[in-house]
Structure 1
């Protein structure tokens, strides 16, 4: 057999990524709903539909600073206004004069009524007098106090916000599954909602494993590797909205690892480990968590998935509470790709968010790339919008394992299992990453 045929034969023994993700995500359920004060709800996902109990605005109000009047008085159809010559430089040959009978601010609460030929000075947000159907902006007047001269006539209804004009009572404000944004918090508050039922943010614990690991702050020596993974994965979990806790480094000690995971089940909705998922002599996580005891399979199943980089992934549950565990490879690039592919969708599902996967686009490939046979590759890339519509994608240097490429990427180029070469000019799939730049 040729080298290519050997590679394809080996790849055929791997589990397709789509099949693996489906089997894992079907085992997860969204966290139980929680009633939260509105100030704490931001960043969570609604567990129930939310309906407006009250209208917004709650009453007829002025939308601008000015003078609340009857439109028939300022349009010439009424009996009360006086007409005077227009000031020099103002449009029209005459102005309208109305008596100012009071001032209304946003805190005014006593109901008042307009009579023909009169108006009220009003601030934006103030309740409108009964019979008022227009607010003349201050800059269209001489800003008089006892009487005001109006130089321009607005249309009927100008400067007026009617009760319930934007959101009548009973309006469906948001459906279950909606992310609670700052603007949505404002809508809820404005319509009288003080509590909402949401899915809580998942509590995610991150553990890096391996005797070779040392903490950040010093360079690694032969036999030592700086722990970049637990820091990166904690940041990644926080980015997706989880309450992320970095435990740090756990040595390759069977009892120590079991005890640590057992302890963390008390505060975790999901545990992510990194390192030790392979079948080599130092891959203790796979050996420990998949070990059969008393004729029963271990709590975590490790699967060789048709994924590049990082084919070995683990999933299962630990502890009496059966807290889900995701086991990712130890290479930093493979760990971050594994997080995107497996851990991130799991967090989204626990949070009740939809969709669980990142958005994707079809893009015009700017450079020819090769890919391993039989593996679905996720490669760091830069995606940009084209003039006239569509996208282009430029693969970044070094391939999927390089941290520098992942740091620069705003997308992940996806090459399917049957793709060994993607030519420049072809159309490919790209996952869009969240990058606040």
Structure 2
């Protein structure tokens, strides 16, 4: 991590959303580049530009099963008056020795096989009798199994222009071309291109390892029986899935009971596999807010930016937040509130950009758009807080889903956008244009 940004003084300072996000993004550092095998590099961000060392395709080759011919030899060919050519051999994909095609001659050729010397075009097998007198759709590959010396002749029923059905050398990319730019996320097509130009490895920033820890003695693993006063732990599943969706390798830790020593030990155990730690719950001002109790004094006073700073944000949901560094490597830690909607909205606003920054991406934010609010009545918003309401977005319009409650998981499951209500707005009338953050 870099040293933390200059932070506003005083424990009573209320941070804006933008201040908190800026503090995170000026502190988190992209991971150091490493060289990975191609399949291990999937999902990673390319560090350097990659240029093409050899042209693709590296030689002229056939795009069809057919016959390699000279243009003059098939000029004027028709069903009634076919061109009859001597078949001088076969050209298979990967062939090293090529028989030249002279006047009045043809060579059977397979898709991807190099164009033999003297040939100027390829006529598809469907334009011929297949070389066996079997009609225009005779099987090329069956003919290639004929006994040696049985090449014979082929009748071509249509003329061909020069370079017909020929893939030219370098028609995909040429040597020296830019194959992929630095900053490209390597998906299957990009990995295919790297392999096609002979690259077995790629220099990338690795996918960050994110560890998610939920806290609360009331939390029960899904699939187990609920006792009195207990609820299922959904936050750790939601945030682990969200971290993976953001591009991270994410690990979920089972819910930790409300005990500061247990939580500290759990986090210390997880540091070995974490580039980023995310906790949920225990950051407010209650008697059992274990995250604050466990992490409030873990920093090194001699190291700027070390330790966790717990703060209040001018937002709803998600007012209580924590951010800082922990452990010998100063691993960044984001402490999110425990209500399900609060934790998820906080993840989208703060954790996802941190993950994308670790990856080395230039654009770390979700896309946003302006949409017209569809509603039966005005939406209210608390003065002085930036509110994020859940909504569904389509065709330039957005509809609120559920209410403002931070416990409404069902409404969150049906939302694909966040409706942003600024701090200075207390009511949004139907038909008003609003900013939306697109989650899909």
TM bracket, shorter-chain basis: 0.7 to 0.9
Equivalent residue runs for 1:16-415 within 5 Å: 16-75=16-75, 86-87=79-80, 94-145=81-132, 146-218=152-224, 220-291=226-297, 299-367=307-375, 368-385=378-395, 391-399=396-404, 401=406, 402-415=408-421
Q: 2-side partners of 1:267 and 1:295: how far apart? A: 25
Taking a change above 3 Å as real, the CA distance of residues 291 and 128 of structure 1, as seen in their structure-2 partners, is same
Deviations 1:278-299 (CA, angstroms, capped at 9, x unpaired): 1122212123322488978971
Mean CA deviation greater in 286-295 or 184-193: 286-295
Secondary structure, aligned partner of 2:210: strand
Secondary structure, aligned partner of 1:381: strand
TM-score normalised by structure 1 residue count? 0.87
How far the C-alpha of 1:13 sits from its partner, in A, is 5.7
Q: 2-side partners of 1:409 and 1:432: how far apart? A: 10
How far the C-alpha of 1:268 sits from its partner, in A, is 0.6
Secondary structure, aligned partner of 1:380: strand
Q: Do the aligned partners of 1:374 and 1:418 also contact (CA within 8 Å) in 2?
A: yes
Deviations 1:110-150 (CA, angstroms, capped at 9, x unpaired): 13321112111111101111132211122222222432222
**Alignment-derived partner of residue 420 in structure 1:** 426
Q: Do the aligned partners of 1:219 and 1:226 also contact (CA within 8 Å) in 2?
A: no
Aligned residues: 405
How far the C-alpha of 1:158 sits from its partner, in A, is 1.8
Secondary structure, aligned partner of 2:212: strand
Q: 2-side partners of 1:294 and 1:153: how far apart? A: 82
Q: Do the aligned partners of 2:89 and 2:99 also contact (CA within 8 Å) in 1?
A: no
**Alignment-derived partner of residue 90 in structure 1:** none
Q: 1-side partners of 2:298 and 2:159: how far apart? A: 85
Deviations 1:247-284 (CA, angstroms, capped at 9, x unpaired): 11212222222222122111110110000111122212
Q: Do the aligned partners of 1:62 and 1:125 also contact (CA within 8 Å) in 2?
A: yes
Q: 1-side partners of 2:75 and 2:425: how far apart? A: 73
Q: Do the aligned partners of 1:16 and 1:305 also contact (CA within 8 Å) in 2?
A: yes
Q: Do the aligned partners of 1:69 and 1:135 also contact (CA within 8 Å) in 2?
A: yes
Computed over aligned residues only, the root mean square deviation of the Cα atoms, in angstroms, reads 2.1
How far the C-alpha of 1:300 sits from its partner, in A, is 0.3
Secondary structure, aligned partner of 2:273: coil
Deviations 1:189-244 (CA, angstroms, capped at 9, x unpaired): 11111110011111111111122222222454443232111111111111222111
Q: Do the aligned partners of 1:31 and 1:199 also contact (CA within 8 Å) in 2?
A: yes
Taking a change above 3 Å as real, the CA distance of residues 71 and 283 of structure 1, as seen in their structure-2 partners, is same
Q: Do the aligned partners of 1:399 and 1:405 also contact (CA within 8 Å) in 2?
A: no
Secondary structure, aligned partner of 1:158: coil
**Alignment-derived partner of residue 6 in structure 2:** none
Secondary structure, aligned partner of 1:266: helix
The answer for unaligned runs of 5 or more in structure 2 is 1-11, 133-151
How far the C-alpha of 1:374 sits from its partner, in A, is 1.9
Deviations 1:21-62 (CA, angstroms, capped at 9, x unpaired): 011111011111110111211111111111122221111110
Q: 1-side partners of 2:169 and 2:298: how far apart? A: 67
Secondary structure, aligned partner of 2:351: helix
The answer for unaligned runs of 5 or more in structure 1 is 1-11, 77-82, 88-93, 386-390
Q: 1-side partners of 2:24 and 2:355: how far apart? A: 12
How far the C-alpha of 1:75 sits from its partner, in A, is 2.7
Q: 2-side partners of 1:265 and 1:271: how far apart? A: 8
